[in-house]
Amino acid sequence: MKRRLVLLTEIIAPYRIPVFNKLVNQDGIDLHVIFLAESDPSLREWLVYKDEIQFSYEVLPSWRHRLGKYNFLLNSGVTETLRRSSPDVIVCGGYNYIASWQSAIWAKRHQIPFLLWVESTAKDQREGHLLLESMKSMFMRNCDAFIAAGVSSFEYLRSFGLPREAIFIAPNAVDIEFFTERADMVRADSAPHRLRHALPDHFALFVGRLVREKGVFDLLRAYSQLTPKIREELSLVLVGDGEAHSELKRRAAEIYPGRIDFAGFLQREQLVNYYALADMFIMPTHSDPWGLVVNEAMACGLPVICSNIAGCVADLVEDGRNGLIFPAGDSTALTNAMSALAGDAELRVSMGRRSKERILRNSPEACASGIAHAVLESASAAYV
C-alpha cells in the first residue's frame, strides 16, 4: 500500500530535484511536492530546471519581501491545496514561513502525521534569538517526527529533549553523478577548459555568497599570510557574489605577490569546471547549517578545508584523510591548512580520492531512502 506523501518546501532548488526524483520511486511512496515559490531572486540566482523534474508538484501563489536578513514569504491557497492533495503524511522543510504553520495546524486538525525536515545545528549563528527559539520550540511540539540532514542536526534536535526514535536521518545530498562525471570529463581534457575560463594552473577554490558570515575575509587574510613562494604558485578563486564583493576586491588588490580572481555567480554547468580544475576547496564559514558546496567539491574529487562550524563537517570531513578542519575565524590555522595541501600534491590526490569515496554515502538515493523510511514509519504508527 502506498502512502500519499505531501512535501512542503520553499523553492525549486536544483540540489533537491535529484532527491525528489529518487523519492518518487521509493517503495510505498506516492509523492506530491508543494513549492512555496519557484525561486528567491533576491538571494539566489539558480536556474529552475523544470525539465529535470520527474515528480508531481505545484507552486503556490506567493509574495516575497526581504527586510535585512529576514525573509518574508506569504502564500495563498495553502490549506485548500493540502485538502485537495489528500496526504497520509506531510513533510515540511522548515518552520520559518507562515505556510509551515498553516500546514502544521491543518495536519493536527485532520490527524495527519506531520514531520519536520531539519538542517539546523547548535553552531549555526542564525539560532539563538529568544523569540525565534520560543516559536521554534512551539512549532516542534506540533510535529510527530523529525528528519535530520546529518549528525549535527540530529544532535541539535536531541538538545530539545526529543526522543531518538522520533528522529530519522536522511543524509544531505547533491547530484553526485552529475558532478563526478562532468569533473572527470573536464580533467581528461583540461587545457581548453582552463583557457576558456582563464583559470590559473593551481588554485584554491571558494564557492558561496560573498558575505562576512561565510568567512571570506578570513580566507583573504589566510591567503595573504601564505609565504610569497606559495602565493606565486597558488592562486585563490572566489565564485559567488554578495554585499562584501567590493571590499574583498579592494583588499585583494593589496596582496602581492599572488593572484585572486572573482568569478561571480555561476550555474552548475560552469561551476563544475572550477571544481574539476581546482587543487583544493575551502569553506571557511562562520555559520552554515550544512554547506552543500562541500558535497559538490567532494563529488568532483577535491580535498576540502572546512571550518568546524559547518554542519556537514561531522558527516563528510575526516580530518587528515579527505580534508582538514580548522577553528572558524582562525586565519592562521587556515593558512597552515592551505600551506600543507599546497606543498603536497600526493596528499591532495589521496584526499581527493577519499572524498569521492566518502560522498557516495550522501547520495540522492540515500537521502530519499531516509525520507521514505521516516514517512512510512510515521504512517504505520498513526494508522494502526
What pLDDT sits at residue 44? 75
- Dihedral of alpha carbons 246, 248, 249, 254, sign: positive
Secondary-structure class of domain 3-173+363-379 per CATH: alpha beta
User: Measured between alpha carbons, how far is 151 from 377 in angstroms, rounded to an integer?
Assistant: 20
Report, as an integer, the average pLDDT of 282-295: 96
160-208 pLDDT per residue, tens: 999 999 999 999 999 999 999 999 999 999 999 999 999 999 999 999 9
Angle at 120 between CA 73 and CA 281, to 5 degrees: 105
What pLDDT sits at residue 243? 95
What pLDDT sits at residue 129? 67
DSSP state letters, 148-192: ESSHHHHHHHHTTT--GGGEEE------HHHHHHHHHHHHHTHHH
Q: How far is CA 197 from CA 152, 193, 202, 311, in A?
A: 36, 6, 13, 31
Enter the C-alpha cell of residue 346: 600526493
- pLDDT exceeds cutoff 90 at 382: no
Report, as an integer, the average pLDDT of 315-326: 98
Contact, 280 vs 340, CB < 8 A? no
Enter the C-alpha cell of residue 207: 564557492
361-377 pLDDT per residue, tens: 999 999 999 999 999 99
Q: What is the CA radius of gyration of the chain?
A: 21
What pLDDT sits at residue 286? 96
- pLDDT exceeds cutoff 70 at 384: no
Confidence of residue 134 (pLDDT cuts 50, 70, 90): confident
What pLDDT sits at residue 246? 97
What pLDDT sits at residue 68? 67
In percent, the amount of the chain with pLDDT more than 70 equals 97
The answer for residues whose C-beta is within 8 angstroms of residue 172's C-beta and 6 or more apart is 119, 149, 150, 290, 292, 295, 312, 315, 362, 367
Confidence of residue 216 (pLDDT cuts 50, 70, 90): very high
Domain with CATH 3.40.50.2000 in the chain: 3-173+363-379, 176-361
Contact, 214 vs 285, CB < 8 A? yes
Report, as an integer, the average pLDDT of 36-56: 90
User: Measured between alpha carbons, how far is 137 from 184 in angstroms, rounded to an integer?
Assistant: 45
Confidence of residue 320 (pLDDT cuts 50, 70, 90): very high
Report, as an integer, the average pLDDT of 217-240: 98
CATH number of 176-361: 3.40.50.2000
Burial 90-125 (b: 16+ CB within 10 A, else e): bbbbbbbbebbbebbebbeeeebbbbbbbbbbebbe
* Angle in degrees, 0-180, between the axes of helices 130-140 and 98-109, rounded to the nearest 10: 30
Enter the C-alpha cell of residue 132: 525565534
What pLDDT sits at residue 65? 80
* CA 131 to centroid of chain Cα atoms: 26
In percent, the amount of the chain with pLDDT more than 90 equals 88
What pLDDT sits at residue 133? 76
